[in-house]
Amino acid sequence: MKRTPTKLADGRELIYYDLDDSAVRDALDRRRQAAVESRSELRLDRATGDWVTIASHRQGRVHLPPTDACPLCPSREGHAGEIPAADYQVAVFENRFPALTGRAGRCEVVCFTPEHDASFADLTEERARLVLDAWTDRTERLAALPEVEQVYCFENRGTEIGVTLAHPHGQIYAFPFVPPRTAKMIAAADRHRAATGRNLFEDLLTEARAATPRVVIAGRHWTAYVPYAARWPYEVHLHPHRRVPDLTRLDEAERAEFPGLYLELLRRFDRLFRRDGAPGPGAPTPYISAWHQAPRTGGGELALHLELFTVRRTADKLKYLAGVESGMESFVNDVAPEAAARRLREVATCT
């Protein structure tokens, strides 16, 4: 992998990632634009102990532009976007409208492909591996910043999720605090260690692999399974068999197996809601795909894993959070985890 860092016209960092070590990325950003005045502020909710980010400058960000004005497509005659090059493989840049800035953290955009109408599932295994290597590199570099407590790599896909740019991309948040979900997982893992002497995530993986009705895909180094108490209609957790704290600690065998397994998992999500089993791509399934990594401090029991879920529960129905879920964070799932896993196994044979 070749890493080529450069700067955009307003001073933000841009990094190209290429498979070919001879790739040259010397295109200049010739736009005349001033940096967005970021006004991120962290406020502590004393009733819950959770940090809330106030980022009012994000109201002016680009929202669902037409394809020919997509800021994530390669630049061309008549269109200068966020990536000056006429082509690229993977590109990462500082978000122009970040939720977190300066001492309050950092936000980056990860462009998986120059193809506007593609998706992550359309990548080759080689290109998916390049994305994994980019995630790993950014995790290592961002985690080294003194203000960063946790690095969170994720992808939102679909307008149903709230995506504002259709181009296939993800984001990275470098938090200056431990987010609530991470804090809950660490607390649960600490309680489990105190009660059993074992690691919670190792036990969850062992139990899932033994309870085969919830296993979706099992590889030599990774297993994808539906959790016993899944919150979302179709929710899959993907764990390496060897417990590691973050992406930087995966070994070569684990890195080599991940792309093929993950691509198959995404493609099964896309097959889920084809009507009556009809061939063809159907409507793309909206999803969130999120890497959970151990924070800098206090996360020794947290194991690296990816959580993938969709807000769609049938071909024509979304799961909207009910009052008990939004108001009390008490989830109600309409799909049994075992049934969801069975369906995800069944669509493996669809064409």
Is the pLDDT at 278 greater than 60, yes or no? Answer: no
What are the φ and ψ backbone dihedral angles of 154, each rounded to 5 degrees? -155, 165
Question: pTM (2 decimals)?
Answer: 0.95
Q: Tell me the C-alpha distance between 209 and 157, whole Å.
A: 28
Does the active-site annotation cover 169?
Answer: yes
CATH superfamily of this structure's domain 95-351: HIT-like (3.30.428.10)
Residue type, 287: Y
- What mean pLDDT comes out for the span 114-123? 97
Of 57, 63, 79, 169, the catalytic one is: 169
3-state secondary structure of 66: coil
182 in Cβ contact with 150 (< 8 Å): yes
Give backbone dihedrals phi and psi of 170, rounded to 5 degrees, phi first.
Answer: -130, -175
Percent of the chain with pLDDT over 70: 97
pLDDT surpasses 90 at 37 = no
Give tens-digit pLDDT for 190-216.
999 999 999 999 999 999 999 889 999
What is the location of CATH 3.30.428.10 in the chain? Answer: 95-351
pLDDT in tens, 311-336: 999 999 999 999 999 999 999 999 99
Q: Give ∠ CA 178-180-187 in degrees, rounded to 5.
A: 85
Residue 275 has pLDDT above 60, yes or no: no
Q: How much is the mean pLDDT over the chain?
A: 94
Instruction: Give the tens place of pLDDT for each residue, 156-170.
Output: 999 999 999 999 999
